[in-house]
């Protein structure tokens, strides 16, 4: 099997989980290699994502690592055997790799949750708003790359529009709704789009208002993507200048707690829609 030039974030996640299982079992890479009848460098290549692993070998490793979580093992097998070539591959070598990794992550997610304080979440953005957001980047993007980023962001919304869309919840601060990203027409169209999407059964939008008492919260945007099992959840920061991923259980636990905190401080979905509607009428 040829080595990969650049593993995707999904391939790297599989590699990390296999390394974690081996470490938990107290085995060395050399010992794991003997279990498969391969060289230690081959285990290293598997655990860094530069080469894949077959279902048979993965299940053999899991068995010898004493992993008894069958649902988790099946999820890893699905990752290892996935051969999906999604629409995002059309952007390889055209956009930075994290853009492709985010689209792939969303495609395979079982749910999505966003918290935003300064921007409308990417999955809810209109084309005009996205273009204005990317245009504000410093240094300024070349026109061609800007349009590529806008088109990529619009295609990401397929996870909300497909026949089996993922459940999606966004908590948006009032500041993000009021900041004029683009002109008044752009903002008005964006708020109308948020209201339209919030009526869908699988989409929930909540607003944190300026007058919430005692809300210190967190002022960093958050994104949580559900894995097929909770152990494969992923947190990310989706911003105009790129995306960073987090998969450690400790950090995921912190982010889940923060999400519950901002959710508790927000208006319920009905009051949130009423609030956005009133705000749009003020423009």
In this prediction, residue 245 carries a pLDDT of 84
> Cβ atoms within 10 A of the Cβ of 16, count?
15
Residues 157 and 186 in one domain: yes
pLDDT digits (tens, 9 = 90+) for 123-137: 999 999 999 999 988
81, 99, 124: which is the final residue of a domain? 81
- Tell me what the mean pLDDT of segment 25-38 comes to: 96
Out of 26-30, 98-102, 239-243, 255-259, which region has the weakest mean confidence (pLDDT)? 239-243
In this prediction, residue 244 carries a pLDDT of 74
Q: What angle do CA 252, 100, 161 make, to 5 degrees?
A: 85
Residues 216 and 233 in one domain: yes
Asked if residue 237 has pLDDT above 80, the reply is: no
Q: How many domains does the chain have?
A: 2
In a domain, 4, yes or no: no
- Look up the CATH number of the domain holding residue 35: 1.10.260.40
In a domain, 103, yes or no: yes
- Look up the CATH number of the domain holding residue 165: 3.30.870
pLDDT digits (tens, 9 = 90+) for 172-224: 999 999 999 999 999 999 999 999 999 999 999 999 999 987 776 667 788 99
Residues 186 and 51 in one domain: no
Element (H, E) at 206: strand 203-208
In this prediction, residue 219 carries a pLDDT of 74
In a domain, 3, yes or no: no
53, 81, 109: which is the final residue of a domain? 81
Residues 16 and 151 in one domain: no
Torsion of Cα atoms, 249 then 253 then 258 then 264, to 10°: 140
- Tell me what the mean pLDDT of segment 246-273 comes to: 91
Percent of the chain clearing pLDDT 90 (strictly above): 81
Q: Are strands 222-225 and 168-173 parallel, antiparallel or unpaired?
A: unpaired
How much is the mean pLDDT over the chain?
Answer: 92
Asked if residue 118 has pLDDT above 60, the reply is: yes
Domain containing 98: what range? 89-282
Q: Are strands 203-208 and 112-116 parallel, antiparallel or unpaired?
A: unpaired
Rg (CA), the chain: 21
């Amino acid at each position: 099997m040829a080595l990969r030039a650049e593993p995707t974030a999904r391939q790297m996640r599989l590699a990390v989980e296999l390394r974690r299982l081996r470490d938990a079992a107290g085995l060395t890479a050399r010992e794991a290699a003997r279990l498969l009848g391969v060289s230690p460098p081959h285990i290293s290549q598997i655990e860094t994502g530069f080469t894949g692993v077959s279902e048979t070998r993965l299940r053999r490793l899991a068995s010898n690592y004493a992993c008894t979580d069958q649902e988790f093992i099946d999820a890893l097998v699905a990752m290892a055997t996935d051969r999906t070539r999604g629409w995002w591959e059309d952007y390889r070598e055209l956009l930075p790799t994290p853009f492709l990794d985010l689209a792939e992550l969303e495609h395979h997610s079982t749910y999505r949750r966003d918290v935003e304080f300064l921007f409308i979440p990417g999955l809810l953005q209109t084309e005009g708003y996205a273009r204005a957001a990317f245009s504000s980047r410093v240094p300024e993007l070349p026109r061609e790359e800007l349009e590529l980023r806008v088109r990529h962001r619009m295609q990401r919304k397929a996870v909300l529009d497909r026949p089996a869309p993922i459940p999606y919840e966004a908590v948006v601060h009032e500041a993000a709704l009021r900041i004029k990203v683009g002109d008044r027409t752009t903002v008005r169209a964006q708020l109308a789009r948020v209201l339209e999407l919030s009526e869908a059964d699988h989409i929930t939008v909540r607003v944190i208002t300026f007058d919430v008492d005692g809300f210190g919260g967190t002022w960093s945007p958050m994104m949580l993507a559900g894995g097929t099992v909770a152990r494969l959840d992923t947190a990310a920061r989706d911003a105009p200048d790129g995306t960073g991923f987090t998969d450690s259980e400790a950090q995921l636990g912190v982010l889940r707690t923060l999400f519950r905190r901002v959710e508790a401080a927000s208006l319920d979905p009905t009051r949130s829609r009423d609030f956005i509607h009133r705000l749009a009428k003020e423009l």
